[in-house]
Amino acid sequence: MKKSTVLLIYTGGTIGMIKDSETGVLKAFDFDHLYDQIPELSRIEATLKAISMDPVDSSDMTPKKWQEIARIIEENYEAFDGFVVLHGSDTMAYTSSALSFMLQGLKKPVILTGSQLPIGTIRTDGKENLITAIEIAAQKNDSGASIIQEVAIYFEYSLYRGNRTTKVSANAFEAFKSPNYPDLAVAGVQIQYNHGAHLTSTSNQLRVYYGMNEQVALIKIFPGFSPNVYTGMFDTTAVKGIVLETFGSGNAPKNGEFIALLKKYIEDGGIVINVTQCVSGEVVQGKYANSTFFNEIGVVSGRDLTTEAAITKLMFVLSNYESREDMEYYLSHSMAGEMSV
């Protein structure tokens, strides 16, 4: 059987760092010498090529960078069987969520991975993460189709759906969780695939949507929340959509001023989507009295969306749909497996 071809796309992040032998400072290594840093790659049954973007710390990741990643994938889609995006862990869940909406009709894997320790560190988690991510990206079934046909995150022995994932630890190797969706695969002695959890597209053609509207805001509700502090966010000329992080199953204070601000904002054309602050579970607007007003004024329930998926989906929907009816429909329905039906 012909070897699979995998394209590595380096965006920056800890995984691509090695310590300078003279200064001791961490710096990005030359991906032309990838096999020098990770000789184990020569034993993988896949042909590799690497493209290095202008590397940035993941804290500096932007929609323009997402567009650049998507463009590289689109331009190389026919030439490669799979893609591995090396990325800083801090904003990896945002990027994987964004790409899941931008890359429609995927029949090939796009696996994001990174590390908590630099690749040149003796105890690095980067080698295992990278090697296994490549193996997954190269893996095909008996009929020759890719086993994974979606955007995913591989980190510390688990493969997660990209738009269902959130970073839960700043220093543990097991840095990510998929709180409301099962793992796509678990890497032990063998890689065990959870085929029933995989996403498959009925389309035979990749369609890439580059539009991402950055005029969105995130408001986290907390005890003592004062609407006066946030009045500027309810200006529809500057902010087209708001993600609300509310308590429990979607509850918020029944503050008259806050409700009035939301109501006017929505009447003026703004879109508001409600997600829970909880790590797992979902929004059920109307389950409690302190969420019924959301239904009455037109707030969209984000159900079990992660905050990362809600923000990037809102950016995507605002940019790619014109009517309010369409925007509300797609925000409340699954587009790329990001929410439970």
Judge if pTM exceeds 0.85.
yes
**Spatial separation of the C-alpha atoms in residues 182 and 288, rounded to whole Å:** 28
One fold for 4-208 and 216-331: yes
**Spatial separation of the C-alpha atoms in residues 81 and 7, rounded to whole Å:** 8
User: What pLDDT does residue 129 have?
Assistant: 93
Q: Which residues contact 156 (CB under 8 A, 6 or more apart)?
A: 125, 129, 173, 174, 175, 176
Average pLDDT, the chain: 93
**Spatial separation of the C-alpha atoms in residues 238 and 284, rounded to whole Å:** 29
Which CATH architecture describes the domain 4-208?
A: 3-Layer(aba) Sandwich (3.40)
Structure tokens at 3: 């070897």
Instruction: Report domain extents, the chain.
Output: 4-208, 216-331
User: What pLDDT does residue 32 have?
Assistant: 65
Of the CA atoms within 13 Å of residue 157, those in its CB half-sphere come to: 6
Closest CA to 164 of 49, 303, 17: 303
- Fold observed for domain 216-331: Rossmann fold (3.40.50)
Burial class for 211, CB neighbours closer than 10 Å (0-12, 13-18, 19+): middle
pLDDT tens-digit series, residues 163-179: 999 999 998 889 999 99
From the list 11, 14, 91, 113, the catalytic residue is 14
Closest CA to 101 of 333, 276, 300: 333
Q: Which residues contact 131 (CB under 8 A, 6 or more apart)?
A: 38, 40, 41, 44
Give whole-number Cα distances, 288 to 219, 221, 273, 295, in Å: 20, 16, 17, 12
Closest CA to 61 of 31, 101, 89: 89
Sort strands 185-187 and 158-161 into parallel, antiparallel or unpaired.
Answer: antiparallel
pLDDT tens-digit series, residues 123-165: 888 889 999 999 999 999 999 999 999 999 999 999 999 999 9
Residue 124 annotated as catalytic: no
Neighbours of 305 (CB within 10 A): 30
Burial of 37-56, coded b for 16+ CB within 10 Å and e otherwise, reads bbeebeebebebebebeebb
State the DSSP code for 223.
Answer: T
Structure tokens at 169: 């630890």
Mean pLDDT of 281-299: 96
User: What pLDDT does residue 121 have?
Assistant: 79
